Amino acid sequence: MNKNIKYLAIIISTVLLSCNNSKTEKANNTGKMVAQSDIKKSEGYKLLESKCYICHFKTPDPANINQMIAPPMLRVQEHYKPSYPEKEDFIKAVMAYVNNPSEDKTLMPGAVKKFNLMPKVIYNQNELKLIAETIYNYEFGSAPKVRMQMLRGVQLNNGERWKLKHETIEIVDNIINKLYTFKSDNIADYSQFGKDIFEQAKFIMLDKSYTGTKFEQIHVFFNGAEKDMHSLIEEKSIDNAKKTIEDLKIKFNNFYDFFEVDSPTANNKYSEYRN
């Protein structure tokens, strides 16, 4: 609820700001490879600041983690570039998402689960294109990829494994199966394979029935695997891609050390009805 009110306020102020903005700047968008300092002076960057940074931090800011209501733009770039290495495709994908945020399209299921879907706001399409181009070009620098929690890895539930729905376990089994049967000497297949297993993992990461600590632990696990899936999508070398598959096998083999199927309870419920 609170979050919705916050969004509403933000969106209203965006609309007000954009009325001012449209008159002040004329597009200046001819240069191709623009220097970092020039990007910061560009129309696209100003628009990014005024329209997107109200919700998105530029880079992760651990000191203000509680004020975070959307993933930092650096993370958005990190998630979009592997799937859309070409600038034109990147711009299209970012525009498509902003114009119509959806679970189908998301490349950041963790963010969707954590912050809810990005609210749909109608932006001027030319401005949005400049913004998307800026997100592609800008060097946000780097930030540590793992949070402390991830360094520690998945934790058990007071010494017990976390119980998951059998649908979830089926998906994980399916991914493991695929990891062990996948074979190819064509790097394009690895990229597609990375996308395929990411799409499957997304179902789990977006599952609304998991909450609280269980949800966090699921995400700690999948955040690690997600990184591998992304590097698979963008990998250029077969050898590295093969190593990443091996790494994923190891990660997924550990899955059942921390999670197990919740079937006994499900069965009990079922038999209650039958008796």
Is residue 85 at the binding interface for ligand HEC, with CB under 6 A as the rule? no
The residue assigned the tokens 């000191």 is: 63
In angstroms, the Cα distances linking 255 to 158, 160, 161, 249, 251 are: 17, 13, 10, 10, 7
Shortest distance (Å) from residue 234 CB to ligand HEC: 16
Is residue 137 at the binding interface for ligand HEC, with CB under 6 A as the rule? no
Give 70 or 245: the residue with its C-beta nearer to ligand HEC. Answer: 70
Binding to ligand HEC (CB under 6 A): which residues in 38-67? 51-52, 54-56
The dihedral sign for the CA sequence 171, 174, 180, 184: negative
Total residues at the site for ligand HEC (CB under 6 A)? 28
Is residue 194 at the binding interface for ligand HEC, with CB under 6 A as the rule? no
Which residue pairs from 233-239 have beta carbons closer than 8 angstroms and sit at least 24 positions apart in sequence?
Answer: 233/82, 233/83, 233/191, 233/194, 233/195, 233/198, 234/81, 234/82, 234/83, 234/85, 234/191, 235/187, 235/190, 235/191, 235/194, 236/187, 237/187, 238/185, 238/187, 238/190
* The binder of ligand HEC chosen from 34, 91, 111, 204 (CB under 6 A): 111
Shortest distance (Å) from residue 45 CB to ligand HEC: 12
Give 42 or 255: the residue with its C-beta nearer to ligand HEC. Answer: 42
- Among 22-30, 34-42, 111-119, 241-249, the segment contacting ligand HEC (CB under 6 A): 111-119
User: Given the rule CB under 6 A, which residues bind ligand HEC?
Assistant: 7, 10-11, 51-52, 54-56, 69-71, 76, 94, 97-98, 101, 106-108, 111-112, 115, 117-119, 123, 128, 131
